[in-house]
Structure 1
């Protein structure tokens, strides 16, 4: 048994399946409303996206998700229309356009929202209800200077309000955001450094309250 910065590892693991080496892990959200987080995979070179439906750590089946073409990268997933089903948030490379496609499980629900273009140095890193109003908000990071902002949303529409929080190094990336169950209205944002950091360094987290 090994200790990783205070976290003890039993070296136990389970192989759940395989994906193409070109695919990246894009998120864990409940796509079929069974109470289990499902695993999302993205191939940015082809624009292919897929979901593994999970029962705990068991991969029970899979399905292809929406493909908008390789110019559109899947940025994050969260519910933006209040139907308790994760929607897909996209960035188009080179244009600064962002979009949300509304989903009915793994199927496209036939509706979408496209945002006005922003500077291409800004990227959507995660989504979470930071405003504690029942709406998922978007967390952005600037790849040039490490600036980070939250745009507060009302459904899929920007409310007109935003907040900046502490910069990180441009080499550090926001990888996820999740509420802290035992601290009301608080979301922790996980930050990971470059591969040059120690492989036993899990990164760090910044907690945000409205």
Structure 2
């Protein structure tokens, strides 16, 4: 007989396969029980194998080829500007907009000169890492993360001119590496740092936008599902939200998204694909009441808003 016991009273793991008389997987392995199982934190799997009722003399025990324990992915990072504390949210639900778990990142508080400027996977492990900028001297650091677990801090080339600010991440040249998006708030220049892991390999100037313009750069993501990173802009006069459709680092056209709330209390905190439909969504937080929400995007552009959890105003989110 075979029994599978999931530790605790929680739900079955993802990819759960119940035992049947037929193969539970089409893998070349002739008699798999399960594979690629993802467990929620705190849960385990116990396999009990007993000889059959016919008391066969020959019985081959099953084998476990490999076990790898990985941290659950994080969707949103949070930084408390008053205490320096760090936290993370894991989301779930049909649209990926429901809070599944909020966890504390076990780190010493961060010096108040440092701000999180963006998040993205810089070492190819499928976990978001954090980009920090020192607002006093321009130093830049990347926290390599594995879920909510800090792994390593990497310093990269500093930018002493504080007029240059990081506004997002994305793959701008199709090499499967996460690049950094910059804007100079004095000259209106915009640029992309093409990266190889955590190493900048080339700076590329892209279409500029006057520093005195009513337009504010607020993020980067793939909003049209063509695997090119686009650039998100907010008009500070009429609250129109547009994105620059890009082909690599080349500007193609401006595309209207929707009108942002006119009370100016909502702030864009990041961009990510919450519902896994290949279109990045826009994450907002309210600077007055602490509400958070998402603008869900699809093939025809803006789809609908979703209100999520509320947070204390001292916390700032990053998608």
The answer, yes or no, to whether TM exceeds 0.5 is yes
Q: Aligned partners of 1:146 and 1:17: how far apart in 2?
A: 38
Q: Say which is worse superposed, 72-81 or 114-123, in terms of deviation.
A: 114-123
Q: How far has the Cα of 1:120 moved from its partner? A: 3.5
Aligned to 2:244: 151
CA RMSD of aligned residues (A): 2.3
Task: Kindly report which structure 2 residues correspond to 1:37-52, keeping only aligned pairs within 5 A, or say none.
Answer: 37-52=128-143
What is the TM-score of this pair, normalised by structure 1? Answer: 0.83
Asked whether 1:209 is paired with 2:303, we answer no
Q: Aligned partners of 1:25 and 1:99: how far apart in 2?
A: 19
Asked whether 1:61 is paired with 2:152, we answer yes
Q: How far has the Cα of 1:8 moved from its partner? A: 7.5
Paired residues of 1:174 and 1:191 also in contact (CA < 8 A): yes
User: Which of 10, 15, 19 is 2:106 aligned to?
Assistant: 15
Q: Aligned partners of 1:138 and 1:114: how far apart in 2?
A: 11
Q: Say which is worse superposed, 152-161 or 38-47, in terms of deviation.
A: 38-47
Task: Kindly report which structure 2 residues correspond to 1:180-199, keeping only aligned pairs within 5 A, or say none.
Answer: 180-182=274-276, 184-194=277-287, 196-197=288-289, 199=290
5+ unaligned residues in a row in structure 1: which ranges?
1-5
Q: Which has the higher strand share?
A: 1
Asked whether 1:97 is paired with 2:189, we answer yes
Aligned residues: 199
Q: Aligned partners of 2:285 and 2:238: how far apart in 1?
A: 16
5+ unaligned residues in a row in structure 2: which ranges?
1-97, 300-319
Q: Aligned partners of 1:48 and 1:79: how far apart in 2?
A: 22
Q: 1:66 and 1:140, CA in 2 relative to 1: closer, same or farther beyond 3 A?
A: farther
